[in-house]
Amino acid sequence: MPELPEVETLRRGLAEHLVGRRIVTVELRLPKLVAEGRLEELEGATVTGVRRRAKHLLIDTDRATLLVHLKLAGQIALRRADGASLAVGGHPVPRFDAPLPHRSTHLILGLDDGSRLYLTDIRHFARVWVLPAADAEARLAALGLGPEPLDPAFTPRVLAEALAGRRRPLKPTLLDQTRVAGLGNIYVDEALWRARLAPTLSAGDLDTERVERLHAAIRAVLHHAVTEGVAQVLDGRAAPGTSFPAVHGREGQPCPRCGEPVRKARIGGRGTYTCPSCQPVEHT
């Protein structure tokens, strides 16, 4: 999916154009997209806000909350009546400027100004929940999500507490949404590279200085992705001539910091990219 920066970028775009709009039509093309609730409840509802928690997108209306998880390959696009793009984010396939609906478009919401919101997912993993607002909150609470890394409350101390006592390696620990919310495979690799930490280091063994480095790196990588708009154009692999991602998807290419070839390994079942020189495996 769409990790935190992609969902946040999407949230901002949708909030700008969706709040105050009334949903007039609902077209569901893939019934299993709906994990709970009835989309018909949204017909006639007015959007009151668009929020994000971890990788979840919440579209609040005066009738119910539409909770969306894009998983690995979900994409949401908001198009004006004339087809012009108002907001788009998530997985870059189909291309953000491709004609819609795509054959993998599973949901279309028609708004009162003629614009349409398309949810497309080539892998059919994305899910939505239509819930009373309180139930949406309860559902999120039940997930036990960890702290939001871009929240001011996310301090080095909070990160230290999230990692304390964990014997698993950093990579799977940081992917665990109950430790830190919103990180995914790309941004974990980028943050660890930036912090010069090997993904195999035991999470609970980091000293204060390393925790502070990791904290700063997580914030910097996410903040950069959101503010520089890289989250909107990122296509899962490094484009030639660009500086992001620094290591993810760049096996064999020179580390931007030291020139050593980037190495790919499998850690916790996930493709993991590191600079073996910048991220030494020695511990303590």
Size of residue set near DNA by CB under 7 A: 41
Looking at beta carbons only, is 61 or 185 nearer to DNA?
185
Tokens of 147: 């702290």
Residue 143 makes contact with DNA by CB under 7 A: yes
Q: Are residues 222 and 187 in contact, defined by beta-carbon separation less than 8 angstroms?
A: yes
| Interaction of residue 80 with DNA, rule CB under 7 A | no
Cα–Cα distance, 115 to 74 (Å, whole number) = 20
The residue from 27, 51, 270, 276 that is catalytic is 270
Query: 11, 55, 171, 250: which is the annotated catalytic residue?
Result: 55
DSSP H or E segment with residue 218: helix 208-227
Q: Is 32 a catalytic residue?
A: no
Closer CB to DNA, 80 or 224, in the complex: 224
Confirm whether 21 is a catalytic residue.
no
**Please, which residue, 125 or 260, has the CB nearer to DNA?**
125
Chain-centroid distance, C-alpha 266 = 21
Contacts of 254-260 with C-beta under 8 Å, sequence gap 24+, read: 255/193
The answer to whether 79 contacts DNA (rule: CB under 7 A) is no
Q: Give the DSSP H/E element, type plus range, for residue 231.
A: helix 230-233
Q: Which of 49, 256, 271, 276 binds DNA (CB under 7 A)?
A: 271
Give yes or no: 55 in active site.
Answer: yes
| Residues 159-218 close enough to bind DNA by CB under 7 A | 165-169, 172, 175, 177, 184-186
For the sheet with 74-79, list strands across it. Answer: 23-28, 105-111, 116-121, 74-79, 85-90
Q: Does 123 bind DNA (CB under 7 A)?
A: yes
By CB under 7 A, name the one of 13, 37, 92, 199 that touches DNA. Answer: 92
Q: Residue 59, Cβ neighbours under 10 Å: how many?
A: 28
Note whether 13 and 89 are within 8 A (CB). Answer: yes
3-state secondary structure of 85: strand
Instruction: Please tell me whether residue 96 binds DNA under the rule CB under 7 A.
Output: no
- Cβ of residue 73: shortest distance to DNA, in angstroms? 7
The reply to whether 156 sits near DNA by the rule CB under 7 A is: no
43 vs 25: CA distance, rounded Å: 6
Active site amino acids: 2-3, 55, 270
Binding site for DNA (CB under 7 A): 1-3, 6, 32, 54-55, 69, 71-72, 90-94, 103-104, 122-125, 143, 165-169, 172, 175, 177, 184-186, 231, 234-236, 268-271
